[in-house]
């Protein structure tokens, strides 16, 4: 839980800025995006192999 201490008579915009800064530092949004874009290891390996074949074909064409 994020706690933002406020001073007496502090501006609400300033308090929101503090909250946003603390929230970003926790890395919640970054972790959420990483989990949403999860890729199974088998799919990742297949993509790497397809890319390797593509790069190899490009190098053969250059020779």
Asked if the structure places residue 6 within a domain, the reply is no
Number of domains in the chain: 1
Q: Residue 23 corresponds to which tokens in the numbers above?
A: 């929230």
Mean pLDDT across the stretch 1-21?
A: 89
Q: What's the pTM?
A: 0.48
* pLDDT value at residue 56: 97
Contact by Cβ (8 Å): 4, 17:
no
Asked if the structure places residue 10 within a domain, the reply is no
Asked if the structure places residue 30 within a domain, the reply is yes
**Residue 27, by phi and psi: left (phi above 0), alpha (psi -120 to 50) or beta?**
left
Asked if the structure places residue 29 within a domain, the reply is yes
How far is residue 35's CA from residue 57's CA, in Å, rounded to a whole number? Answer: 33
Containing structural domain, residue 53: 20-62
Asked if the structure places residue 56 within a domain, the reply is yes
Q: How confident is the model at residue 4 (pLDDT cuts 50, 70, 90)?
A: confident
């Amino acid at each position: 839980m994020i706690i933002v201490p406020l001073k007496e008579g502090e501006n609400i915009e300033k308090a929101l800025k503090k909250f946003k800064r603390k929230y970003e530092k926790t890395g919640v949004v970054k972790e959420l995006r990483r989990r949403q874009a999860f890729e199974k290891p088998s799919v990742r390996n297949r993509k790497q192999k397809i890319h390797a074949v593509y790069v190899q074909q490009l190098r053969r064409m250059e020779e």
